[in-house]
Amino acid sequence: MEADLYEEINGMIQLYLIRHSMTAGNLKKRYIGRTDESLCPEGIVLLESYIQKNIYPEVQRVYVSPMKRCMETAKLIFKENFYEVEELRECDFGIFENKNYKELSDCPEYQAWIDSGGTMTFPGGENPEEFRKRCVRGFEKVIKECRHDQIKSVAVVAHGGTIMSIMDRYARDENGQPDGSYYDYQVKNGEGYELIIADVSSGDGRICAGSDIWRSGMAVSSGADHWQMDIVFGKDTPEVCRRSGGE
């Protein structure tokens, strides 16, 4: 979308959800939640390759999870001007923390959690539903502050689970129905979604990016070369509508 199009619509915010780059635990497929890992060398190389491709936007403000992997990712991409948001932390995986599925294969608590469809509270950790609600509160705090301060472009550097929670809560199809579930919004390290957030409480209607801005569409990829997602905020209830043309 052309830059002047954003300016035509009152209250519009261009927001990027970016997952942190890789850590050693990510490489080993471990559950890394409260474990405060730094980026591993491979993660830094990956992020630098994306930076060299100039895929990340210039923004007025950057919000981050206070965890090292997010702070380090934000510093490499954006250098400065960070606002920490405690609610954007990753989930606490309890006794599963810093272990992978192979290491947990003989753990009865892990099997019980799998059998629950991932809905039961992590033993010694956080309840998945409460975690998602926490992430949504953090996201709504970001939007509220941006509106108050008249910020038009913003990045949120957070965790895979945080991004999935936000998308699970707000993503809707062209009929206003839920457009997938939590695990449909998995995103790779260093990649994310571009969101177009518009205040439609004035009655201007649903706004989606693209040549026809008044019509919602379908399908999107979270690939680094093709992030597209439109999010529309009404007076009380935000929603995301998929944009056509995704991979």
DSSP-derived secondary structure letter, 243: P
What's the number of CA atoms in the CB half-sphere (13 Å) around residue 132?
A: 15
Report helix, strand or coil for 81: coil
Average pLDDT, the chain: 78
- Which comes out higher in pLDDT, residue 98 or 219? 98
pLDDT reported for residue 176 = 67
10 Å CB burial of residue 8 (0-12, 13-18, 19+) is exposed
The residue ranges of DSSP E strands in 177-235, in sequence order, are: 192-199, 229-233
pLDDT tens-digit series, residues 61-98: 999 999 999 999 999 999 887 999 999 999 999 999 99
d(CA 77, CA 91) in angstroms, rounded, equals: 24
Report helix, strand or coil for 54: coil
What percent of the chain clears pLDDT 70, i.e. is strictly above it? 72
Asked if residue 15 has pLDDT above 70, the reply is yes
* Among the listed residues 213, 88, 56, 223, the one whose alpha carbon sits nearest the alpha carbon of residue 159: 88
Q: How far is CA 238 from CA 11, 37, 45, 72, in A?
A: 14, 33, 36, 30
Which pTM was predicted? 0.80
d(CA 95, CA 76) in angstroms, rounded, equals: 32
Cβ 65 vs Cβ 85: under 8 Å: yes
From the CB of residue 128, how many other CB atoms can be counted at a distance below 10 Å? Answer: 20
Q: Which of 16-30, 35-49, 157-171 has the lowest mean pLDDT?
A: 157-171
Asked if residue 227 has pLDDT above 90, the reply is no
Q: Which of 3-12, 41-50, 65-74 has the lowest mean pLDDT?
A: 3-12
pLDDT tens-digit series, residues 127-168: 999 999 999 999 999 999 998 999 999 999 999 999 999 888
Mean pLDDT along residues 202-227? 32
Report helix, strand or coil for 242: coil
pLDDT tens-digit series, residues 171-201: 666 666 666 788 888 999 999 888 877 664 4
Q: Which of 4-18, 22-36, 75-89, 128-142 has the lowest mean pLDDT?
A: 4-18
Question: What SS3 string covers 87-155?
Answer: HHCCCCCHHHCCCCCCCCCCCHHHHHHHHCCCCCCCCCCCCHHHHHHHHHHHHHHHHHHHHHHCCCEEE
Cβ 67 vs Cβ 87: under 8 Å: no
Asked if residue 2 has pLDDT above 50, the reply is no
